[in-house]
Amino acid sequence: GENVEQHPSTLSVQEGDSAVIKCTYSDSASNYFPWYKQELGKRPQLIIDIRSNVGEKKDQRIAVTLNKTAKHFSLHITETQPEDSAVYFCAASSSTGNQFYFGTGTSLTVIP
Amino acid sequence: NAGVTQTPKFQVLKTGQSMTLQCAQDMNHEYMSWYRQDPGMGLRLIHYSVGAGITDQGEVPNGYNVSRSTTEDFPLRLLSAAPSQTSVYFCASSPGGSYTEAFFGQGTRLTVV
């Protein structure tokens, strides 16, 4: 089955700096890569996603890049704010879309 | 539109007890799944269903049973709880097919003593 690895496990940045979280996957058949944000005590919620036929996608301060050849994808958050502090999960979806495989999560702390 | 609803939010069980975690969605999604979240291990898939009457095992299915008699409901059963099942459990649903988002319930924090 699919194996998703995520790094780093914890990340601290100063407010206004950028944050980058990296993930790798093993199954070349995976074709959808969502990112979820989980605030303390809350449910994971989708913040951005990318399909396998796209190399980069941006949404305001958030961007995701995908390198299919190397099987890795990354989340970039620019101009970080304290409300960006949360746990972020990357995931890879099987080609049928019925299974999501998650990374182990990155706890991001933005220091005011 | 309630989305995905899980009950209960918190539960304490004694070793050997059984219980059912409830999950219901009102979005007419075909796909539903159960995950457990443990510190440092992310979200691990327990069981999933691609439609009413169809279920399959995920990464960590041992100790858990599921059934899917309707599109809306996907309960998770612990037949004989063990301390290793102490975790936060999330139910999720998605429309199915490629490129579709998973919507999560609010989670159930289960402690087995």
**The pLDDT of residue B41 is above 90:** no
Question: Which residues, 6+ apart, have CB-to-CB distance to A41 below 8 Å?
Answer: none
pLDDT tens column, A2-33: 899 999 999 999 999 999 999 999 999 899 99
Q: What is the mean pLDDT of residues B60-70?
A: 97
**Nearest Cβ partner for A43 among B94, B100, B107:** B107
Coil, strand or helix: which one is A47? strand
> Looking at residue A54, what is its pLDDT?
87
Question: Which residues, 6+ apart, have CB-to-CB distance to A55 below 8 Å?
Answer: A65, A66, A67
- Tell if the CB–CB gap between B98 and A98 is shorter than 8 Å: no
Q: What is the mean pLDDT of residues B23-50?
A: 94
**The pLDDT of residue B26 is above 80:** yes
Burial grade of A69 (CB within 10 A; 0-12, 13-18, 19 or more): exposed
- Tell if the CB–CB gap between B98 and A96 is shorter than 8 Å: yes
Contact B81, B94 (CB under 8 A): no
> Looking at residue B40, what is its pLDDT?
83
**The pLDDT of residue B47 is above 80:** yes
- Tell if the CB–CB gap between B101 and A49 is shorter than 8 Å: yes
A interface with B, Cβ–Cβ < 8 A, is 1, 6, 9, 31-32, 34, 42-46, 49, 51, 89, 91, 93, 95-105
> Looking at residue B97, what is its pLDDT?
75
Q: Whole-angstrom Cα distance, residue A56 to residue B78? A: 42
Coil, strand or helix: which one is A84? helix
**The pLDDT of residue B78 is above 70:** yes
Top-confidence residue, B17 or A94: B17
> Looking at residue A95, what is its pLDDT?
67
> Looking at residue B2, what is its pLDDT?
79
> Looking at residue A99, what is its pLDDT?
82
Q: Whole-angstrom Cα distance, residue A94 to residue A60? A: 28
The residue in chain B having the minimum alpha-carbon distance to the alpha carbon of residue A44 is B104
Residue B70, CA distances (Å) to A96, B30, B52 in order: 21, 10, 5
Q: What is the mean pLDDT of chain B?
A: 94
> Looking at residue A97, what is its pLDDT?
66
Work out the percent of chain B whose per-residue pLDDT is above 70.
99
> Looking at residue B100, what is its pLDDT?
83
- Tell if the CB–CB gap between B48 and A44 is shorter than 8 Å: no
The residue in chain A having the minimum alpha-carbon distance to the alpha carbon of residue B55 is A98
Selected for mutation to probe chain B from A4, A66, A98, A99 (highest B CB count within 10 Å) is A98
Nearest Cα of chain B lies from the Cα of A15 at a distance, in angstroms, of 25
> Looking at residue A20, what is its pLDDT?
98
* Distance linking the first and last C-alpha atoms of chain B: 36
**Nearest Cβ partner for B106 among A43, A51, A93:** A43
Which residues in chain A come in under a pLDDT of 50? none
Q: How far is CA A62 from the centre of its chain?
A: 10
